[in-house]
Amino acid sequence: MEVVGVDVARVRGLYPTLATGTAQLDGAFAALQPESVIRAIIAALRSAPAQPGSRSSRSQNSATRVLRARRAAADLVGGRAEDVVLADSTVSLMLRFTALLSSDWQLGDEIVLSRLDADFAMRPWLRAARGRGVVVRWAEVDLETGELPAWQYEALIGRRTRIVTVSLANAATGMVPDIRAIADLAHQHGALVIVDAGVAPAYVPLDLAELGADLLAVAAPAFGGPTVAALVARPGLLDEIPGSLDNLPGGLDGLPTPQRFEVLPLPIELLDGLTAAVDHLADLDEHATGGRRERLVASVTAAGEYTRHLYPRLDDGLRAISGVTVLGAPHRTLPVAAFTVAGRTPDEVGAFLHRHNISAWTGPSGMSELLRAFGADELGGAVFVGLMPHTAAAEVDQLLDALRALSA
């Protein structure tokens, strides 16, 4: 299968891991690193990088790496480099900003979380709410469709709401909520909207302004980057955030924005890998032109179209297999799926697929609330699969054939 703008054979050649012959269908849970990312990280390590801030040549080189990574993350989401905060993970970023944004909460204030939220995006806010006597309100998932209805936020958000968190693209169902509608409602009441990009970067172009997000978290491993993450703020927000940084680890008031929000040390040896991963996305469509932002929009759109056309082959095939239950059936979805197999634990399914040269994710998902809502936690979780721009139709068929054999 080929969609204009995406040469799948060419794209597959950019991933050395595909040469092993295993169908790599873990999706964003264990996205493959392209050769360009691997080479960028190796080259950075060979330069013996040091933390930025010194006048030494290695430190100055690292400062350049940080700036390049900020610019790449900004291009990825349509933001500005001066609004990009870097860290080793989205967990670190959420812990950091939860401490900052909860510093002026008062008893009776409210926050709104959703069952689609990943654990890393949810638990820091829950702990902060308990510590300050803040009310937690939950946006629920429609268990029949897996969707997060936007209408429910009219009753959830009010004048005491301080924070609204929402996942742009859940790694289990691929559900894409109407974030702009939620954000507009939250902003009417003066609340901040914090969005986790989830698996979206590999499938749809991100636009911070169009989403209406105040803070947008992006994890590089979701699109083939190293274990690095970025939080991109709307212009001017970082200067408005209340609270002192003096009592927070790594916080130095003398540093300019956005450095003063970062938890040191930075993963310097991996930042070139982040930049290379964004460049890789921008080059998926070899015919895309313009600056990196323009090429990102064109390439990710084309890659998303390819996986969108391939996804019914996976979704319809899974739902047609006796004993296989797919979680949810959202209308607006990205090409990922979570399913269970009757009479089998996820680990048993994963082991069976492994013997058939298929890689699917069966480990910790970090989505305890969603799996609990679906009842999948009682079964030990679910099996997660996802299509990527390098996925071939034959790999989907390989998975379906194996599951049919398992369920026979």
Q: What is the pLDDT of residue 164?
A: 98
User: Could you write out the three-class secondary structure of 87-136?
Assistant: ECCHHHHHHHHHHHHCCCCCCCCEEEEECCCCHHHHHHHHHHHHHHCCEE
What pairs with residue 249 in β-bridges?
Answer: none
Closest CA to 220 of 297, 279, 284: 279
- DSSP track, 199-225: TGGGTS---HHHHT-SEEEEEGGGGT-
* Rounded Cα gap, residues 326 and 18, in angstroms: 27
What pairs with residue 232 in β-bridges?
Answer: 84, 216
Going from N- to C-terminal start, the domains of the chain cover: 8-34+292-407, 39-278
Mean pLDDT for each consecutive 10-residue tract of the chain (408 residues)? 72 95 92 97 95 93 96 98 96 93 94 93 94 96 90 97 94 91 98 96 96 97 96 94 51 64 91 98 95 97 95 96 91 90 95 97 87 84 94 97 94
Q: Can you say how many angstroms the Cα of residue 94 is from the centroid of all Cα atoms in its chain? A: 13
CATH architecture of 8-34+292-407: Alpha-Beta Complex (3.90)
Gyration radius of the chain over CA positions: 21
CATH architecture of 39-278: 3-Layer(aba) Sandwich (3.40)
Omega prior to 258 cis, within 30 of 0: yes
Q: What is the pLDDT of residue 249?
A: 47
Q: What is the pLDDT of residue 245?
A: 47
User: In CATH terms, are 8-34+292-407 and 39-278 the same topology?
Assistant: no
Collapsing DSSP to helix, strand or coil, 317 comes out as helix
Q: What is the pLDDT of residue 252?
A: 45
Model confidence, pTM: 0.94
Please measure the distance between the N-terminal and C-terminal CA atoms of the chain and give it in whole angstroms.
Answer: 29
